[in-house]
């Protein structure tokens, strides 16, 4: 419907006289339909939409943005929050509860929680995963690789959602606007699919830009302490290879232990670029190009509204992302490593002091 409208508009815009007219028409039609559906399908005051919010590491900015959007748009909801507290094992129980309770909508935060609650698209077991309830996911860096949806144009199943990563080439461009890096280092978990995918894409991009990529995978191990201990060594290796920059992919392990990684980098006077906002705010990375989690939450809230209020089918809704990203710069890190940002970059950055 919106799609059709768009085509109509661009068609008419060729005839400017009519464009204004059709714009008015389109606007009035869409407002009319919005209000009518809102009044018709809005439940009586007593009836509220029940939404199960499954979060993985406590209440975050994303969740706040989701709630704020629904409140601001007067969608009557009852939120039931379930926090896995970082425990993947707890998620099966939460899924079972949701299947039993049959709420109006499910919201899942992060790749792990989303996959454990909603299941991969090619092996959905209605007894194990939530399939009958419409769902939205947020903070999933790559929903296709996570097998939540076969492609980004629509899941074809009962779920919709949003992604939050800035396009990799835009990230690389931002990175090189800080300093014209020729040698890029990357440290990542060798057992995390997300990271492997990003590194593979990074290989292509750096090769295309005539840069060299210095890869240092963290060897998989059941022993987290050993993995943690390897971080300063890996940073030293990257630095020893004369890298201009260290790239930190959206990696769960590194998100949890970013501080360790970034303080080693600061010691080596190595600038760091983080893909995820969590790494930027939770550690001492120098910079990143990210979607603000709060805005991602609001975007996901709008998906929930379209499903609940306007009755759209989640399976036909494309996976959305924000069109504008924030360049975040940690000025303390810049001062600590003694490499100052160029004025142009500083001018457009959100600075963490």
Torsional class of 251: left (φ above 0), alpha (ψ -120 to 50), beta (otherwise): beta
Position 17 contacts another protein (CB under 8 A): yes
Q: Establish if 173 lies at the interface with another protein (CB under 8 A).
A: no
Closest CB to another protein among residues 12, 129: 12
Kindly tell me which residue out of 1, 14, 125, 180 binds another protein, with binding defined by CB under 8 A.
Answer: 14
Residue 345 binds to another protein (criterion: CB under 8 A) = yes
Question: Helix 91-101 to helix 110-118 angle, to the nearest 10 degrees?
Answer: 50
Q: Which residues contact 285 (CB under 8 A, 6 or more apart)?
A: 248, 258, 262, 272, 273, 274, 279, 330, 333
Instruction: Provide, rounded to whole angstroms, the least separation between the CB of residue 152 and another protein.
Output: 25
Check binding of 34 to another protein (CB under 8 A): no
Q: Does 341 bind another protein (CB under 8 A)?
A: yes
Beta-ladder partners of 162: 320
Q: How far is CA 242 from CA 183, 187, 212, 239, 271, in A?
A: 7, 15, 11, 5, 12
Q: How far is the CB of 15 from another protein (least distance, A)?
A: 6
CB of 337 to another protein, least distance (A): 13
Residue closer to another protein (CB basis): 79 or 346: 346
Please identify which residue in 1, 7, 16, 45 interacts with another protein, judged by CB under 8 A: 16
DSSP 165: B
128 SS3 class: coil
Strand partners of residue 287: 273, 329
Is residue 15 within the footprint of another protein (CB under 8 A)?
Answer: yes
Query: Does 7 contact another protein by CB under 8 A?
Result: no
**Shortest approach of another protein to residue 173 CB, angstroms?**
15
Task: Looking at 138-283, list the stretches that DSSP marks H as alpha helix, in order from N- to C-terminal side.
Answer: 168-178, 193-208, 224-240, 252-256, 258-267, 277-282
271 contributes a contact to another protein by CB under 8 A: no
13 binds another protein (CB under 8 A): yes
Nearest alpha carbon to residue 165 among 185, 139, 189? 139
Which residues are near another protein by CB under 8 A? 13-17, 331, 335, 340-347, 351, 353
């Amino acid at each position: 419907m919106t799609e059709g409208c768009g085509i109509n508009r661009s068609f008419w815009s060729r005839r400017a006289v009519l464009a204004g007219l059709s714009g008015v028409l389109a606007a009035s039609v869409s407002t009319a339909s919005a209000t009518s559906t809102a009044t018709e399908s809005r439940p009586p005051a007593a009836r509220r939409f029940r939404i199960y919010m499954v979060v993985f590491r406590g209440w975050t900015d994303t969740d706040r943005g989701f709630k704020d959007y629904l409140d601001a748009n007067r969608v009557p909801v009852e939120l039931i929050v379930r926090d896995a507290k970082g425990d993947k094992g707890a998620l099966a129980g939460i899924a079972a509860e949701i299947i039993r309770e049959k709420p109006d909508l499910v919201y899942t935060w992060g790749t792990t929680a989303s996959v454990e609650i909603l299941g991969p698209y090619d092996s959905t077991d209605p007894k194990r995963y939530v399939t009958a309830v419409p769902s939205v996911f947020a903070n999933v860096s790559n929903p296709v690789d996570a097998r939540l949806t076969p492609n980004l144009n629509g899941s074809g199943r009962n779920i919709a959602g949003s992604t939050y990563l800035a396009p990799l080439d835009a990230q690389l461009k931002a990175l090189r606007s800080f300093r014209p890096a020729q040698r890029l280092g990357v440290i990542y978990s060798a057992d995390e699919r997300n990271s492997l995918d990003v590194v593979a894409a990074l290989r292509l991009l750096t090769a295309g830009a005539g840069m060299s990529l210095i890869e240092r995978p963290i060897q998989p191990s059941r022993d987290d302490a050993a993995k943690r201990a390897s971080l300063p060594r890996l940073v030293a290796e990257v630095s020893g290879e004369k890298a201009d920059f260290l790239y930190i992919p959206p990696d769960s392990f590194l998100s949890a232990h970013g501080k360790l990684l970034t303080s080693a980098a600061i010691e080596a006077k190595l600038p760091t670029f983080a893909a995820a906002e969590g790494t930027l705010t939770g550690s001492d990375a120098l910079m990143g190009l990210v979607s603000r989690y709060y805005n991602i939450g609001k975007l996901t809230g709008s998906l929930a509204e379209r499903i609940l209020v306007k009755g759209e089918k989640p399976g036909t809704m494309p996976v959305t992302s924000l069109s504008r990203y924030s360049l975040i710069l940690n000025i303390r890190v810049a001062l600590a490593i003694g490499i100052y940002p160029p004025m142009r970059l500083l001018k457009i950055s959100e600075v963490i002091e």
